[in-house]
Amino acid sequence: MGSLSEGDISPDPFIQFRVWLDAEVREGLRLPAAMIVATATRDGRPSVRTVLLNGADERGLVFYTNYESRKARELAENPAAAALFYWARSGRQVRAEGVVVRTSPEESDAYFRGRHRDSQIGAWASRQSEPIAGRQILEERVRALTEEHRDHEIPRPPYWGGYRLVPGGFEFWQSRPNRLHDRLRYTLDGDRWRIERLSP
């Protein structure tokens, strides 16, 4: 069982997050970048789902999705969101809360070009979150799109791209015996991060 002390962490939560994420990657954890993202409508009705983290730096945490999906519609109404990473093997979790903004079209284009071709086709075939009469309709769309784009590069759909969660706060949690866990919270105070310990 690990421990988490103020003297052992980086004053920068993005660096600390990277340290923990890299440790999970080295351990061979399946999908260490799985990020649970919570959004809410304008009137506060919440929803939550798992996405993949595709970038993390001092600007924020990046994921990609359909701009017509439920989460995208909610973010258009209410840009406040929260994210959670949970790594059971090491007994760690990281929470981040902040405001979500779209990445630039150039960033979205660059990421889309690097995706597997099947995933590119999938982005065109799926109208995410919309009802569909049957699986066969989706599979037929995939077949038609595969044939249509067989001999050329697949462009990014105009309704697909990236979001960046810009955190104003982080919490790093390390499990300890007797449920007396370590919880350290980073809060952005002007241009610097303030760190404080929370009761478990």
* 179 given a catalytic annotation: yes
Write down the catalytic residue from 30, 150, 179, 192: 179
The CA-based angle 168-111-88, given to 5 degrees, is: 55
- With contact defined as beta carbons under 8 Å apart, do 187 and 198 qualify? no
Tokens at residue 143, please? 């077949």
Contacts of 176 (CB under 8 A, 6+ apart): 1, 3, 182, 200
Q: Are 1 and 91 in contact (CB under 8 A)?
A: yes
Structure tokens belonging to residue 84: 């959670």
> Could you tell me if residue 115 is left (phi over 0), alpha (psi between -120 and 50 degrees) or otherwise beta?
beta
Residues 44 and 61: their CA atoms lie apart, in Å, by: 23
User: Known catalytic residues?
Assistant: 179
